[in-house]
Structure formats: C-alpha cells, structure tokens
Structure 1
Amino acid sequence: MIYRLFALIKFWLSSSNQHGVHSPFVYRFITKCLYSAPHYKTSKSHNILLKTIAYFEIGQVQLVPTNIAVEKEITKHLNEVSFTKSSRELIFIDGLDKETIDEYIVNNIGIANDTVIFVNGLYQTKDTFKLWESIKELKQVKVTMDLFYCGLVFLRREQVEQHFKIRI
C-alpha cells in the first residue's frame, strides 16, 4: 500500500497531460478518447478499457487470463464486442508476469501493427512495474502510455519510439 502511494506521487510529478504530447496519434487518442465523454460508471482502468475499445472500434478482445467479470463489464456497455482466444485487435492483460509477456507480446505471431495491448495494474507491486519497464524496452514496442491505473502498448511500426506518462 505504501509503495502504491509513493508510486502515485512520483507518477503525478513526472506525468503530463495532452499539452506535453508531441505525437499526433497519441494527442488525438488522449483528447478524443481518454478526456472525452462518455465516462462509464466503473473503475478507472475499466473506464479506459471501454473508451479504448469504442475509440478504435475494436470488435474482438482477448482476455488474459479469461475474466468473466471484465467480459460482462465490456458487453454491458459495448455489446458488439466478441471475445476470442487470439485477437489481432486488443489483448487485455490482467496480471503481469514474464511468461505472459513472452507468450502474448514477444512470441505472439498473431500480433499485428494495429494491435492494442492493454496492461492492467502497472503499479500493483514493484515487480509488476519492473515488468512494465521491460515491455517498453522490447524492440517491437513503439508507443507506450502509462496511465498509472493501466498501460497501453502500441506496436505501430510507422511511428518513432515514444513512451508517455499521462494524467487522466
């Protein structure tokens, strides 16, 4: 608990809002998705997840591990979304560990340039934050957004490598 409090303070001191972003892709995502309505009545990370799915018009989501509560939350607000064992659109990772990173990011042959990887609970422990930092160092990862409650990973090969800490 103390770790998360200090991590939150450090995050707030080092993060920015849309004005600190110089990437058009990220700026549009922040202003047209994260900071805009609707605001779903759910947890911060699930609110971000729902907005991300709606913004990118994602039709298929892969939940790692399978999570009935998250699946129900998504279908409650966005009923056109289906759930698969391997999605090229959005991978939701809840519970970060080295094996999950290797299986679903590093060695995932089904992953595409436009795949969004949503990582829940970046600051749960020091170890999960270290794993988040290791994701940022992967050669195929071009853009990351640390939103404290969760993180977003984009592989966009056409984009320069950039890592953001965004206050929401």
Structure 2
Amino acid sequence: MKVLLKSTAYFNAERIRFLGDDGLCKALVLENFPNIEMVSEAADIVFLPKNAPYDSIKDFFSHENAKHNDTMLFYDAPHSSPKNEAIWQTLKAHQKVTVTIDMFYCGAVFFRREQAKEHFKIRI
C-alpha cells in the first residue's frame, strides 16, 4: 500500500480506478488524497488487487478508453499464487504494455507508446 500511495503522489494522479473490490485500499487512498476522483474509465492509476478475477484484465484491455499513455496499472501481489503469477505474465506479454517493474510484492505496468518494451525487477 505504501508503494501505491507514494506512486499516487509522485505521478500527481487525479483519477484512480479499482479493478476489483478492495474497500480498505480505497479508504486509504481517499484518506491520503481526498481530492482524487474514483472513475470507471481512463485513469491515471489503475489498481488491480491480488484477488481480482482474470476477466477484469481482459475487460480492461478490451476498452480503448480504459487507459491513456501515462496510465500506471498497479498490481498487488503478482507472485502470491499461481493464478496471480499467470496474470502478471499475461500483463508483461501484452502488446500494449511497454514497461513493467516487478517489485515482488507489487508490480507497475506502463503503456507509454514512445518507450521501448522493457521489464525491470527491483528490490524494495
């Protein structure tokens, strides 16, 4: 959660989307960023909780207005289960994804068209 909150501040996010039901996370974000807008379309940050169904990823990528060039998708616990690992690998391989940052406990996914495809692993 600390990484999500720091990323929200660093990227000056104004709009956030949650791809799943994570009431505690929503409450923490609103507590720290009371002016942030919760949306269901193009957002600056998209939060994917570890218990999100696989269909939420397919749905996210099927809508062109779900993201913009500077959107960051934040994935909670990509290595916590075989299902989450499969979702993480699918995210990394997607043609619209240009950069992924694997921080083990969480992952960041970017869609910047002007950037070459790269994958990073860092320890936090």
TM-score with structure 2 setting the length: 0.91
Check conservation: 2:19, 2:52, Cα contact below 8 A: no
For 2:100, the equivalent position in structure 1 comes to 144
Q: Is the 8 A contact 1:61 1:91 kept in 2?
A: yes
**C-alpha distance in 2, partners of 1:98/1:165?**
23
Structure 2 counterpart of 1:142, one-letter code:
T
After TM superposition, give the deviation of residue 101 of structure 1 in Å: 1.5
What one-letter code is carried by the residue in structure 1 that aligns with 2:99? Answer: V
Q: Which has the larger radius of gyration?
A: 1
CA RMSD, Structure 1 to Structure 2 (Å) = 1.3
CA offsets 1:76-111 (integer angstroms, 9 cap, x no match)? 22222121122331110112443121111x212112
Closer, same or farther in 2 for the Cα pair 1:88/1:75, shift >3 Å? closer
Match of 1:50 in 2: 5
Structure 2 distance, partners of 1:81, 1:87, is 14
Q: CA shift at 1:126, angstroms?
A: 1.6
Q: 1: distance between equivalents of 2:92 and 2:53?
A: 14
Check the 8 A contact 1:62/1:84 in 2, yes or no: yes
Provide the residue aligned with 1:93 in structure 2: 48
Aligned residues: 122
Q: Which runs of 4+ in 1 moved over 2 A?
A: 95-98
DSSP 3-state at the match of 2:64: coil
Q: Which residue of 2 aligns with 1:155?
A: 111
Q: CA deviation at 1:141?
A: 0.3
Q: Which has the higher strand share?
A: 2
Q: Normalized per residue, which structure has more helix? A: 1
TM-score normalised per structure 1: 0.68
Match of 1:165 in 2: 121
- The separation in 1 between residues aligned to 2:53 and 2:101, in whole angstroms, is 19
